[in-house]
Structure 1
Amino acid sequence: MIIIQCTDSSRRRYIAEEIEKYGKGNFSSQIFTFQELSVATQNFNPESLIGEGGFGRVYKGHIETKDIDVAVKKLDRNGFQGNREFLVEVLILSLLHHPNLVKLVGYCAEGEQRVLVYEYMHNGSLEDRLLNIGPNEKPLDWNTRMKIAEGAARGLEYLHETAKPPVIYRDFKASNILLDESFNPKLSDFGLAKLGPIGGRTHVSTRVLGTYGYCAPEYTATGKLSTKSDIYSYGVVFFEIITGRRVVDTSRPSEEQNLITWAQPLFKDKKKFHFIADPLLEGNYPEKALYQALAVAAMCLQEEATTRPLSSDVVTALEYLSTGKSPEESQEEEEDDDHKEEEEEMGSSPDNTTVESTENNSTQDDSSDSDKS
């Protein structure tokens, strides 16, 4: 469907129809009036500004009726394309839910206004905490970096392998990874997201959109987009997490401006791996973990899309890096836990009271695990 020209009323009608068509009115997201959001942000006060990107400015606000802090993104793009991105964002975040996707609280599509309301993320973006830190700010430690990398990979895994049809994020970068008060990462900004290939197809063809430096080479060259395109972008961000450098940084000497190009010669010699790690880490990382992290990044950055890993493979690798344990150590711990459980069962009293108590505890533990997952 191509719309050459459309009035404001037809745009509003199109958004309402599409939301009703795909969401069937079962959205958990709230519809706000523009007045409500003006009050929440003190009339979009510049002092409340917490971010600005290609799609608009983001303000911190407070919704009195819910007593929650929110991030309010006011889109400033006009025309149908801006409306399309708004629609995609509302649909995806209303229909897909995962701990590593940012939660959409609500939206406003009143008149010319297009506003999105998200949960407020206390630690801003990964870009803020990794690439924009001031001289007096504490840099992210190794374990926190690996935790963020793992959570971001889980978000991609959900989009690629759980969502039906799969969703290609298309704009995976440090500024789109938000961090809550515990530094748990959540993917945001889904305006460029695209439904992935189905029916045995390997890719979808589309015009090239995204951020320079993060886009996969085959996508940039041909417009062929697949979940493996996201994996390349993930590799770029993971490399930024390891090095503390931007993928493209024109403030550096010419031979260091492109992160991937700069690192390639260092990859050939293990003795030089420590030159790749962020100097702000001051060597506080397990050497073996650095090798493993660089290996994962290198696999994601393969030129050929088919040779890159699946997002679930990346999650598996990052699970061990974020815990600091090898697969063998994790397996040994699981076996030890199983052995302890067997000993406890053998040593427990046979009377009904003890068995009942054990069953109750087991039920509570299962419930607790369920809440955490």
Structure 2
Amino acid sequence: MVRSCANIIGQRYSSQPTHRRGSGCEKRLMRLFQPNVCMYRDKRSIKCYNCHTYDHYVDESPKLERMEEEADLVHEENEPTMLAQSNSKKKGGANIKIILPVIISGVLLIGFITSWLCRARKSNNNAEQIEEDVALDVHKNHEEAMELPLFTFSIIAIATANFSNDNKLGEGGFGPVYKGVLEDGQEVAVKRLSRNSSQGLVEFKNEVICISKLQHRNLVKLLGCCIQGDEKLLIYEYMPNKGLDSFIFDNAQSLFLDWTKRFNIIKGIARGLVYLHQDSRLRIIHRDLKASNILLDQDMNPKISDFGIARSFGGNESQGNTERVVGTYGYMSPEYALDGIFSMKSDVFSFGVLVLEIVSGKRNRGFTQQEHGNNLMGHAWNLYNEGRSMDLLDANLAESCHPLEVSRSIEVGLLCVQQNAGDRPNMSSIIMMLEGERPLPQPKQPAYFMESDLFVVNFSGSTNPSINELTITEVGAR
């Protein structure tokens, strides 16, 4: 029996009433949705070919042979179509192999571009986000302690004569500093964050949070702040004598600081550091102690200022580590400059440099002793070993000095700048050393003995990324 396609082979067959069921084909006339022709030579062998037609049931014989031939005809006629379909599939497969990598590459490229645009947008919005965070933190800090007034920009603009150059006191890493007079007649110093500042919003936030609650006679007092649009201002008590550097490094101005005043300044700075390291609510490491950050009031009392890069510790913490070293060349301890490790002993090192500068009237940065090429610390060390420490004293102090206080100050300075942080005394011990008469420990060789050592530290820190990125900011007088 064959399931034939009468309309294709050109002859119709009618079903025989005597046809037996169970031949494997449907007994009624029906449309074949899957194009095929089925034939069998016996009841156990069936062969199928493609066609579109209706089913008819035919007798097994005598037309079986002709039907087989006709079925073969149908098979042969359909072979070109099947071959074309097969070739079409092969071509389609080849096209897919070409198109698919192109599509994948396009998707990856679009993904990369989208990711880059997202990063660019995030970078552009980063400053705005930081600004919002700063504002929130400042206001939160203000709510927790109603001691920090928030000034409007218009009030500060009026107080400084619209930030007139005539009222400009100086400029540092934060930005310009102006003198101002509030409506009640109080004189203030206004630090205005510059858009081109080497410091920024993070330092602004840090300074507000660090010193808003600090109260000590040897710390400059923060009176308030202003955050309005792009303007970020810090308002401090006014220091009429500006920075310590403007006196000790100037031959004419240094005459106004005799030895008694200088020794009091040394002890005042030490007391301020004791408060920061031990007595304040949080342990604070200043990290940028230097002559220009010591302000002098009308009575020449010292006040530590500029807490933009200060770090605070809670609990029993006393040491930190950073990958971004910030500070001032000539004042940084070796462990901080090279390894990013800072602690109270980092401030002690800076204090030691400052003491030697106050005594000698010379800057540590750039000083070179002609005979041996030593820097200020190396020069003081050699004079100490030779028993000639008094030769380090500023010539303008010869008549007003007290030799015992001078020699003890130099020894304390050398103890503070020792190479190993563990060998340096803490600030409480330093005050007792300055005010006492007991013999002092023998200091060891300073960390930076020659001026070239400072350049080596600067070079290695700034060019070797495996150590640290050394970012040094030299902030001018306030």
TM-score range, shorter chain: 0.7 to 0.9
Q: Which residue of 2 aligns with 1:158?
A: 275
Q: Which residue of 1 aligns with 2:379?
A: 262
The residue matched to 1:106 in structure 2 has which SS? strand
Query: Which of residues 302, 310, 333 is equivalent to 2:418?
Result: 302
Report deviation, 1:59. 1.0
Q: Which residue of 2 aligns with 1:169?
A: 286
Q: Which residue of 2 aligns with 1:227?
A: 344
Aligned-partner residue type, residue 242 of structure 2: G
**Number of residue equivalences:** 318
Aligned-partner residue type, residue 35 of structure 1: S
Q: Which residue of 2 aligns with 1:37?
A: 156
Query: Which of residues 170, 180, 187 is equivalent to 2:297?
Result: 180
Q: Which residue of 1 aligns with 2:192?
A: 74
**Native 8 Å contact 1:57 1:73 kept in 2:** yes
More helix per residue = 1
Q: Which residue of 2 aligns with 1:285?
A: 401
**Native 8 Å contact 2:242 2:295 kept in 1:** yes
Runs of 4+ in 1 over 6 A off after TM superposition: none
Separation of aligned partners in 2, 1:27 and 1:206:
35
Aligned-partner residue type, residue 227 of structure 2: A
Separation of aligned partners in 2, 1:220 and 1:77:
27
RMSD: 2.5
Q: Which residue of 2 aligns with 1:105?
A: 223
Report deviation, 1:200. 5.5
Q: Could you list the runs of 5+ residues in structure 2 that have no partner in the other structure?
A: 1-121, 440-478
CA 1:250–1:106 in structure 2 vs 1: closer, same or farther (change >3 Å)?
A: same
Report deviation, 1:263. 2.5
Deviations 1:257-287 (A, max 9, x none): 83113322212111x2221001111243122
CA 1:67–1:261 in structure 2 vs 1: closer, same or farther (change >3 Å)?
A: same
**Native 8 Å contact 2:260 2:400 kept in 1:** no
Separation of aligned partners in 1, 2:307 and 2:347:
13
CA 1:202–1:10 in structure 2 vs 1: closer, same or farther (change >3 Å)?
A: closer
CA 1:47–1:222 in structure 2 vs 1: closer, same or farther (change >3 Å)?
A: same
Separation of aligned partners in 1, 2:251 and 2:156:
30
Mapping for residues 1-373 of structure 1, pairs under 5 Å: 4-6=123-125, 9-64=128-183, 66-77=184-195, 82-134=200-252, 138-196=255-313, 198-199=315-316, 202-249=319-366, 258-270=375-387, 272-320=388-436, 326=437
- Indicate the structure (1 or 2) with the bigger Cα radius of gyration: 2
Deviations 1:291-317 (A, max 9, x none): 211111111111110111111111222
**Native 8 Å contact 1:234 1:300 kept in 2:** yes
Q: Could you list the runs of 5+ residues in structure 1 that have no partner in the other structure?
A: 321-325, 329-373
Report deviation, 1:61. 0.9
Separation of aligned partners in 2, 1:243 and 1:71:
30
Separation of aligned partners in 2, 1:200 and 1:138:
43
**Native 8 Å contact 2:286 2:309 kept in 1:** yes
Deviations 1:7-55 (A, max 9, x none): 6653332113223444543142221122211111111111111121111
**Native 8 Å contact 1:248 1:257 kept in 2:** no
Report deviation, 1:211. 0.2
Aligned-partner residue type, residue 238 of structure 1: V
**Native 8 Å contact 2:130 2:202 kept in 1:** no
**Native 8 Å contact 1:93 1:104 kept in 2:** yes
The residue matched to 1:209 in structure 2 has which SS? strand
Separation of aligned partners in 1, 2:312 and 2:277:
10
Report deviation, 1:80. 11
**Native 8 Å contact 2:243 2:292 kept in 1:** yes
Separation of aligned partners in 2, 1:106 and 1:254:
51
Task: Give TM-score scaled by structure 2 length.
Answer: 0.62
The residue matched to 2:191 in structure 1 has which SS? strand
Separation of aligned partners in 2, 1:237 and 1:313:
17
